C-alpha cells in the first residue's frame, strides 16, 4: 500500500472511530421499548437493555453491568415508575446527568385507567387520556431541541422513593429465578425475580377490593402493547436522540418514519388475523393487555391477577372460575412467568382452550425486530386459542 493510501486509510479509521464515539450512550428499561429505540438507532448505534428477558419489570435486582449502563447513559428511555417503581431511584442516583424520557408522559400517549376488577364488561377500558391535551409544561425547561418533547427532560427530582434507596430489594431476596436464563451474564438465575409475581406476602388476602400492599398508579403502565402508542413514541425517541446527536438526526427521523409505516402495516395485519375470531371470549392471566384490546377492539372478559401481577385472592379466582363456567369462555391465556398450576385450577371442569402469551417477549432476541414480532405472536396465539 502506498504511503498516501495508508494515510487515507488511517485517517478514515480515526474519523470513523470519532463518529462512533460521538453516538449517545442510551439505556432502556424493557425489551419492547428497547426494540423501538434500537429501530430508531439502526445503523447508528445500539442501546443497552436494563431489565433482561425473562425477568419481571415490576421487581428487579439491578446487575452491575446494568448499573454501569445507567451510569454511562446520555439518554434513558423508560415507561415510568408505574411499571418499574424500583427504577426511579436507580435512574436518579446512577443516571443523574442523563436526559430521561418517561414514555407514559410523552405527548400523544393514550393512557388507560388501571383496572382492579376480576371481570370486565365489553369495552371496559376506563377513561382514555391523551397527553396531547395535558401539556406538561413543568417538565424539562432546559431541553436543547424543540422537537425533543420539552416535558421530559428532568424527571429525576420530582419523586424520591426513599424505600428503594439501595436497590438491593432485600424484601424480595426469596424471589429467585427458576428459569435459568444461562445466556445472560452475572448469574441471573440467582438474582432475577422470576417469582416476583408470586408475592407470598399477599397470598392470604381474601379479596382484592382492599388493595393494601398493592400500590400502583392511576394508569395501566402496559402502554407499549398499543401499536398506536409505539408509533407515537418512535417520534419522541427520534427527537431526543437528535437533540443529543444532531449529526445523525436525519438518520434517526428516517428510521422513525420507516418504523411508523411498518407499524401501520403491522396493525392492519393484526386486525386481519383477529377478524375471523371477533366475538370470541378470553381471560388473561394478568391484566396487561387492555391497550392491545383497545387498539383492536377485542376486549378480554377478565384477568386472574391485576395489572401489578400480585397474587389473586381465592375470591377473585372463584369469580373467574364462575365466569368461565357460566359464560362458556373460549380461551384462558397463560404467561411463561406465572404458575401454570393456577391456570390448571382455573380451568378445572371447563372446556376452555389455553394458550401462552408474553407481554415482554421473553423468548425473542432483543433488537429492532422484537417489537413487531411480539405483537404478531400475541395476535396469532389469541386467534389460535379462540
pLDDT tens readout for residues 319-328:
999 999 999 9
Q: Which of 248, 268, 288 is the last residue of a domain?
A: 268
State whether 191 and 294 are in the same domain: no
State whether 258 and 284 are in the same domain: no
Q: How confident is the model at residue 133, as a pLDDT?
A: 42
Cα–Cα distances in Å, from 84 out to 62, 207, 215? 12, 25, 12
Distance from chain centroid for Cα 214: 19
Has residue 5 been placed in a domain?
no
Task: Of 300, 368, 372, 378, give the one whose Cα is nearest residue 335.
Answer: 378
Cα 163–Cα 167–Cα 172 angle in degrees, nearest 5: 80
Q: How buried is residue 62: exposed, middle or buried, by Cβ count under 10 Å (0-12/13-18/19+)? A: buried
Maximum CA pair distance of the chain? Answer: 84
Q: Quick one: pLDDT band at residue 171, thresholds 50, 70, 90?
A: very low
State whether 219 and 108 are in the same domain: yes
> Can you tell me whether residue 235 is helix, strand or coil?
helix
Q: Are 226 and 294 in contact (CB under 8 A)?
A: yes
Q: How confident is the model at residue 305, as a pLDDT?
A: 85
Q: How many structural domains comprise the chain?
A: 2
3-state helix, strand, coil in the chain (%, to 5): 45, 10, 45
Q: Are 374 and 361 in contact (CB under 8 A)?
A: yes
pLDDT tens readout for residues 232-286:
999 999 999 999 999 999 999 999 999 999 999 999 999 999 999 999 999 999 8
Cα 159–Cα 160–Cα 166 angle in degrees, nearest 5: 145
The range of the structural domain enclosing residue 319 comes to 270-385
State whether 162 and 36 are in the same domain: yes
Has residue 3 been placed in a domain?
no
Q: How confident is the model at residue 19, as a pLDDT?
A: 44
Q: How confident is the model at residue 187, as a pLDDT?
A: 40
Q: Are 372 and 262 in contact (CB under 8 A)?
A: yes
Alpha-carbon distance of 245 to 295, in angstroms, equals 33
For residue 36, pLDDT beyond 90: yes
Distance from chain centroid for Cα 152: 18
Of all residues in the chain, what percent carry a pLDDT higher than 70? 69
For residue 356, pLDDT beyond 50: yes
Instruction: Give me 186's grid cell.
Output: 452475572
Q: How confident is the model at residue 193, as a pLDDT?
A: 37
pLDDT tens readout for residues 109-125:
999 999 988 888 754 44
Q: Quick one: pLDDT band at residue 29, thresholds 50, 70, 90?
A: very high
State whether 99 and 205 are in the same domain: yes
Bridge partners of 353, per DSSP, are 331
Alpha-carbon distance of 105 to 99, in angstroms, equals 14
Has residue 6 been placed in a domain?
no
Has residue 2 been placed in a domain?
no
Q: Please give the radius of gyration of the chain, using alpha carbons only, rounded to the nearest integer.
A: 22
Alpha-carbon distance of 91 to 101, in angstroms, equals 11
For residue 136, pLDDT beyond 80: no
State whether 96 and 203 are in the same domain: yes
Has residue 355 been placed in a domain?
yes
Q: How confident is the model at residue 143, as a pLDDT?
A: 38
State whether 299 and 374 are in the same domain: yes
Q: Which of 268, 285, 320 is the last residue of a domain?
A: 268
Secondary structure, 3-state, 147-178: CCCHHHCCCCCCCCCHHHCCCCCHHHCCCCCC
Q: How confident is the model at residue 145, as a pLDDT?
A: 40
State whether 213 and 88 are in the same domain: yes
> Can you tell me whether residue 186 is helix, strand or coil?
coil
For residue 131, pLDDT beyond 70: no
For residue 7, pLDDT beyond 50: no
Has residue 282 been placed in a domain?
yes
For residue 4, pLDDT beyond 90: no
Ranges 38-42, 179-183, 345-349, most confident: 38-42
State whether 226 and 306 are in the same domain: no
> For the domain that residue 230 is a member of, what is the CATH number?
3.40.50.1980
Has residue 249 been placed in a domain?
yes
**Cα torsion at 222, 347, 384, 303 (round to 10°)?**
-20
Of all residues in the chain, what percent carry a pLDDT higher than 90? 59
The position carrying cell 436522540 is 241
Ranges 17-26, 68-77, 217-226, 331-340, most confident: 68-77
Alpha-carbon distance of 326 to 118, in angstroms, equals 15
State whether 190 and 294 are in the same domain: no
Q: How confident is the model at residue 3, as a pLDDT?
A: 44
State whether 328 and 221 are in the same domain: no
State whether 251 and 276 are in the same domain: no
Q: How confident is the model at residue 173, as a pLDDT?
A: 40
Q: How confident is the model at residue 54, as a pLDDT?
A: 85
> For the chain, what is the mean pLDDT?
79
Q: How confident is the model at residue 9, as a pLDDT?
A: 42
Q: Which of 250, 268, 286 is the last residue of a domain?
A: 268
Alpha-carbon distance of 308 to 287, in angstroms, equals 8
Has residue 277 been placed in a domain?
yes
Amino acid at each position: 500500500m502506498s504511503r498516501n493510501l495508508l494515510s487515507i486509510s488511517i485517517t478514515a479509521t480515526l474519523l470513523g472511530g470519532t463518529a462512533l464515539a460521538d453516538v449517545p450512550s442510551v439505556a432502556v428499561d424493557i425489551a419492547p421499548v428497547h426494540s423501538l429505540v434500537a429501530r430508531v438507532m439502526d445503523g447508528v448505534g445500539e442501546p443497552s437493555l436494563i431489565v433482561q428477558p425473562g425477568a419481571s419489570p415490576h421487581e428487579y435486582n439491578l446487575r452491575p453491568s446494568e448499573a454501569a449502563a445507567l451510569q454511562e447513559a446520555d439518554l434513558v428511555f423508560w415507561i415510568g415508575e408505574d411499571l418499574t417503581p424500583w427504577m426511579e431511584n436507580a435512574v436518579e442516583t446512577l443516571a443523574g446527568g442523563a436526559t430521561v424520557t418517561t414514555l407514559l408522559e410523552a405527548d400523544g400517549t393514550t393512557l388507560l385507567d388501571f383496572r382492579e376488577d376480576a371481570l370486565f364488561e365489553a369495552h371496559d377500558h376506563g377513561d382514555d387520556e391523551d397527553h396531547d391535551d395535558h401539556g406538561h409544561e413543568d417538565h424539562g425547561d432546559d431541553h436543547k431541541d424543540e422537537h425533543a418533547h420539552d416535558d421530559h427532560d428532568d424527571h429525576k427530582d420530582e419523586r424520591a422513593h426513599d424505600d428503594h434507596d439501595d436497590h438491593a430489594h432485600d424484601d424480595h431476596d426469596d424471589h429467585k429465578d427458576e428459569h435459568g436464563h444461562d445466556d445472560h451474564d452475572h448469574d441471573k438465575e440467582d438474582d432475577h425475580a422470576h417469582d416476583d409475581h408470586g408475592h407470598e406476602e399477599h397470598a392470604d388476602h381474601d379479596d382484592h377490593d382492599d388493595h393494601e400492599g398493592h400500590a400502583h398508579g392511576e394508569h395501566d403502565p402496559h402502554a407499549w402493547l398499543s401499536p398506536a402508542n409505539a408509533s407515537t413514541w418512535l417520534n419522541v425517541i427520534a427527537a431526543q436522540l437528535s437533540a443529543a446527536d444532531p449529526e445523525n438526526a436525519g438518520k434517526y427521523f428516517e428510521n422513525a418514519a420507516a418504523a411508523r409505516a411498518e407499524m401501520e402495516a403491522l396493525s392492519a395485519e393484526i386486525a386481519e388475523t383477529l377478524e375471523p375470531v371477533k366475538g370470541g371470549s378470553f381471560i388473561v392471566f394478568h391484566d396487561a393487555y387492555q391497550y392491545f384490546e383497545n387498539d383492536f377492539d377485542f376486549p378480554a372478559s377478565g384477568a386472574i391477577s391485576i395489572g401489578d401481577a400480585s397474587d389473586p385472592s381465592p375470591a377473585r379466582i372463584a369469580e373467574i372460575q364462575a365466569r368461565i363456567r357460566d359464560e362458556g369462555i373460549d380461551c384462558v391465556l397463560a404467561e411463561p412467568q406465572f404458575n401454570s398450576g393456577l391456570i390448571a385450577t382455573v380451568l378445572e371442569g371447563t372446556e376452555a382452550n389455553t394458550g401462552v402469551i408474553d407481554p415482554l417477549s421473553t423468548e425473542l432476541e432483543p433488537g429492532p425486530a422484537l417489537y413487531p414480532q411480539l405483537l404478531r405472536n400475541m395476535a396469532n396465539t389469541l386467534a389460535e386459542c379462540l
